[in-house]
A and B are shown apart, each in its own frame.
Chain A
Amino acid sequence: MQNAEKKVLGVSSEEVKIESYRLKGGEHGPISSLKELDEYEGELLAAGIDPEEKGRSGSFLQQDHSVVFAKSLIPGLEILSTEEAIKKHSWLDEYLWNIVPADKDIYTKEVAERPTQGYFLRAEKGTKITLPLQSCLFISKDKIRQNVHNIVIAEENSELNIITGCTVAHTVSEALHLGISEFYVKKNAKITFTMVHNWSGGVDVRPRSATLIEDNGVFISNYIFMTPVKSLQMYPTAICAGENSRASFQSIIYAHGNTNIDSGSRIVLQGKGSRGEIISRAIATDDARIIAKGDLVGEAENVRGHLECRGLMLSDSSMIESIPELKARRKNIDLSHEAAVGKIAEEEIRYLMARGFTEDEAVGMIIRGFLSIDIKGLPEGLARETKKMFDMTLEKVM
């Protein structure tokens, strides 16, 4: 496993030289409107951020090392920088480094020792906020390292819908993004987290995230990746600790250029009757390399989990490794997986051409279709936004 990772990524995850990226020179003053960042409008839009804040319940924007904008538009919704939240809520200690261990690896250690902000998002008890909030972690300075620590809490009976974008200015040739995220879904609460990564070919990315879900809680994660990256390695974990809790990960990955991605999702089913679903679609073209992992762990009675990985190869110099894992630790359990990697079937292209589409149009339709997984459980507005983001990024790469 370790060997495979090394071989694939060329640079193994342990080999990103953290010190070669700087911690200084990433400070910015606050802004009073997202529109002030008009020179980066393209970058923000590509990450799902609407500078006008239309149809949003609030916004958060961190530029390099500074939180330049954090505003909630709805009572019961808190949007703060992590630093401020720690000052405000003394109880937050229990949430920091609780489900992501600080000593997990060199990246968590780095963020624990030298944090540079991050977001704190919280829906108060009973507050259902279906309007999405938008958060953005933005790198605008070259050769910088961003060490963010994010905390997201949906208190009991609350709902939180988040569009989050990680994006980088076109002028940045190299950078490192380390992102720790800890999500807490309390009893009967729900978090929908839609994340767009809009990196560029010189950026190393190491997110480390975990979610803890209590009784009847629901966590839905949608992930969209369509621009190149130097290397990305992540394995977000959702722990369905509560009875009848639910977790779902859906990811869409279109890797081109020299992109190296080692990405997976893990769901640990610890609560009686909990359910988990992992769906991923990965396309590799040019010299891109993708490892698509999925891990379902069943540790309680009557749990059910399904994992579906599909990969599409568009070039002979790209690579996809699909690694689904199922781990059952009880007898009354139902875990399943399906994985498939292939190329676009010639007969599908011919069929569409026989309807008058050109070969390029046909290929485009098939790729678009392959990537368009049904995004379930999203409020209408968020579903529309997600589709818009998806269409926009796809438009750009094809």
Chain B
Amino acid sequence: MLEIQNLSVEVGGKRILNDLNLHIGEGEVHVLFGANGSGKTTLFLTILGFPGYNVVEGKIYFKGVDITEFNTTDRVKLGMGVSFQHPPEIRGVKLGDVVEQLLERRGGGDAKALARKLNLSEEFLSRDLNLGFSGGEVKRSEILQLLAQNPDFFMFDEPDSGVDVENVELLGKITNEMLERDRRPSERQKSALIISHIGYILNYIKADRAHVLLDGRIACSGITEEIYNHILNEGFEGCVAKCGKEGVRCEF
């Protein structure tokens, strides 16, 4: 689904990602851990093709297509969908209208029914995008838009930050459905990359693989539970101690 080869990225002339490699197969959910400043958001926005994230080396393939030079719209149209951590407030643009347009793109659907799934009222759909939304409302609105989009590859930026337990549980449940986690592995077609600082969401979403981003490259990869437990017990420092040697990518 997503193949990143030897990716180096500069932002404002500063090298942030360094020779990064990542492969996410069809039906796979990967989680990316990393301390603040490790380059998680840079990777996220580079995959999305935001301007200012300059690929100086390497390639990004999506569904076998080299999208390294694609703009954001074209990448998304190929089947990418994202949930932002801090989406901007857009005055006058109604959430419901955006959801309707996303649904229309794939031939229609019921925006209100989708909203109900997420415990969002009809009134909520008539609100301006992200304007005055609470932390939980932001997340639910992002997931609502993803439900309407129904992409093949999902990216979630910190889906569990600033959300109360009840909401995380609900979001986890809906996200699992959206990612076809209720199906047998061989039947799953949706893939995802979850960027997480705290990994709280993993109590609700089972990820197939985890990676730790360190100084702009993937330092460790492995089974989610093992990496997660390692970070929980010893912090990112522990991971750094084990895997932090320059140029070495270690497998748990």
Say if A and B assemble together.
yes
A residues whose Cβ falls under 8 Å from a Cβ of B: 345, 347-348, 350-359, 365-366, 368-373
Residue contact B92 to A371, C-beta cutoff 8 Å: yes
* The residue from B76, B84, B90 contacting A366, defined by CB atoms under 8 A apart: B90
B242 within 8 A of A: no
Which of chain A's residues has its CB closest to B94's CB?
A: A369
How many angstroms between the C-alpha atoms of A345 and B93 in the bound complex?
A: 14
Residue contact B76 to A355, C-beta cutoff 8 Å: yes
Residue contact A356 to B105, C-beta cutoff 8 Å: yes
Known: A351-B87, A354-B82. 6 other contacts (CB 8 A): A351-B90, A353-B71, A354-B84, A356-B73, A356-B76, A366-B90
Residue contact A348 to B149, C-beta cutoff 8 Å: no
Residue contact B102 to A356, C-beta cutoff 8 Å: yes
Residue among A345, A350, A356, A369 facing the most chain B CB atoms (10 A cut-off) = A356
* CB of B193, distance to nearest CB on chain A (Å): 14
What string of 1s and 0s marks CB contacts (under 8 Å) between B217-230 and chain A? Answer: 00000000000000
How many angstroms between the C-alpha atoms of A373 and B90 in the bound complex?
A: 13
* CB of B63, distance to nearest CB on chain A (Å): 15
* The residue from A347, A352, A356 contacting B149, defined by CB atoms under 8 A apart: A356
Also in contact, A348 and B88, with CB within 8 A (given A355-B98, A355-B149): yes
Which of chain B's residues has its CB closest to A356's CB?
A: B76
* CB of B144, distance to nearest CB on chain A (Å): 12
The residues of B that contact A355 with a CB separation of less than 8 Å are 76, 98, 102, 145, 149
Residue contact A351 to B92, C-beta cutoff 8 Å: no
Also in contact, A369 and B77, with CB within 8 A (given A350-B72, A353-B71, A356-B102): no
What would 22 A/B residue contacts be, using CB atoms closer than 8 Å? A345-B88, A348-B88, A350-B50, A351-B90, A352-B98, A353-B71, A353-B73, A355-B76, A356-B73, A356-B76, A356-B77, A357-B73, A359-B71, A365-B93, A366-B92, A366-B93, A368-B92, A368-B93, A369-B92, A369-B93, A369-B94, A369-B129
Residue contact A359 to B73, C-beta cutoff 8 Å: yes
The residues of B that contact A373 with a CB separation of less than 8 Å are 92
The residues of B that contact A370 with a CB separation of less than 8 Å are 91-92
Residue contact B90 to A358, C-beta cutoff 8 Å: no
Interface Cβ pair total, 8 Å cutoff: 59
The residues of A that contact B91 with a CB separation of less than 8 Å are 369-370
Chain B: residues with Cβ within 8 Å of the partner, total of: 25
* The residue from B72, B87, B90 contacting A353, defined by CB atoms under 8 A apart: B72
B48 within 8 A of A: yes
Residue contact A369 to B128, C-beta cutoff 8 Å: yes
The residues of A that contact B98 with a CB separation of less than 8 Å are 352, 355, 365
Which of chain B's residues has its CB closest to A350's CB?
A: B50
Residue among B71, B90, B149 facing the most chain A CB atoms (10 A cut-off) = B90
How many angstroms between the C-alpha atoms of A355 and B105 in the bound complex?
A: 11
How many angstroms between the C-alpha atoms of A71 and B50 in the bound complex?
A: 58
What string of 1s and 0s marks CB contacts (under 8 Å) between B22-56 and chain A? Answer: 00000000000000000000000000101100000
Which of chain A's residues has its CB closest to B99's CB?
A: A355
The residues of A that contact B71 with a CB separation of less than 8 Å are 353, 359
The residues of A that contact B51 with a CB separation of less than 8 Å are 350
How many angstroms between the C-alpha atoms of A278 and B87 in the bound complex?
A: 30
Which of chain A's residues has its CB closest to B92's CB?
A: A369
* Closest A-B pairs by Cβ, 3 of them: A369-B92, A369-B93, A356-B76
How many angstroms between the C-alpha atoms of A352 and B98 in the bound complex?
A: 9
The residues of A that contact B129 with a CB separation of less than 8 Å are 369
The residues of B that contact A357 with a CB separation of less than 8 Å are 73, 101
* CB of A88, distance to nearest CB on chain B (Å): 45
How many angstroms between the C-alpha atoms of A350 and B84 in the bound complex?
A: 11
Which of chain B's residues has its CB closest to A346's CB?
A: B51
Also in contact, A347 and B88, with CB within 8 A (given A353-B71, A355-B145, A356-B102): yes
How many angstroms between the C-alpha atoms of A350 and B128 in the bound complex?
A: 17
How many angstroms between the C-alpha atoms of A348 and B92 in the bound complex?
A: 12
Also in contact, A353 and B88, with CB within 8 A (given A369-B93, A369-B128): no
* The residue from A354, A365, A368, A369 contacting B72, defined by CB atoms under 8 A apart: A354
